[in-house]
Structure 1
Amino acid sequence: MSTTVADTDELGIAPELSAFQQRILAILAEEARYGLAIKRELEAYYDSEINHGRLYPNLDDLVEMGLVEKSELDKRTNEYALTENGHDAIAKQLSWVFSRFVTDDSRAQEIKDLVNAVQ
């Protein structure tokens, strides 16, 4: 099934995000974190080292897009938090994926089971 212009308009900025950036938003959805904590979560997900040169430019891009807020914890450490726009981007992306994945009652139940497993 192809994506129509209307679908893309409804998704807002979500289609412009890389998978890496989407993972960062998902990590920050749980709670605000400093850069190295985000890096550790990504390394656990990808099961490989994440270079600072990859992480911080992506965080800066997300801040510039208004999806993440950056604040100073101390002179050396920044904290990153998901904004409402970041929350909306995740929700819209999930909605789009679910709308394509859920094709019958069985798949709908799979999604319900996944949600129940994390509650």
Structure 2
Amino acid sequence: MANGTITQLRRGVLGPCVLALLARRPRYGLELARELEAAGELLTSQGTLYPLLGRLHDAGLVTSRWELGDTDRPRRYYEISAAGRRELAEFQREWAAFAGAVTAVAGPPSEGES
């Protein structure tokens, strides 16, 4: 059950984490994947990132553009939109309270508790 629970949690926070990275600066897909993988526990497969980026784009939370980089191969860069910034701000406001409530109920016992 724990593995399924973590998978569900990951699905719920991956979108806001992508928005948070894009709020710092535009990125291309593989760059996002590498940063999420480096953070640990957020991305289990690059195959989950690209459909998510498509859904964020369709929802108007990110925009994208093709650019030629250092290579001759174009890269699709994603950038957070104004709606994405609002969505991220709402998530950030609610996250601390939510995480605190989960920790209070499901976290390890405090000293003296068994």
- TM-score, length basis structure 2: 0.64
Instruction: Report deviation, 1:66.
Output: 0.5
Partner of 2:80: 82
1:71–1:46 CA distance, 2 compared to 1 (3 A):
same
Query: Where does 1:12-31 land on structure 2 (aligned, <5 Å)?
Result: 18-31=12-25
Distance 1:99 1:49 in 2: 24
- Cα RMSD for the two superposed structures: 2.4
Partner of 2:67: 73
User: Would you say how many aligned residue pairs link Structure 1 and Structure 2?
Assistant: 86
SS at match of 2:60: coil
Distance 1:70 1:100 in 2: 31
1:49–1:21 CA distance, 2 compared to 1 (3 A):
closer
Give the share of equivalent positions with the same residue, in percent. 29
Distance 2:98 2:42 in 1: 30
- TM-score, length basis structure 1: 0.62
Instruction: Report deviation, 1:33.
Output: 0.7
Distance 1:90 1:48 in 2: 17
Structure 1, unaligned stretches of length 5 or more? 1-16, 103-119
Distance 1:43 1:32 in 2: 18
Residue 42 (structure 2) pairs with residue 44 (structure 1)? no
Work out which of the two has the higher radius of gyration on C-alpha atoms and give 1 or 2. Answer: 2
1:100–1:48 CA distance, 2 compared to 1 (3 A):
closer
Match of 2:54 among 56, 60, 63: 60
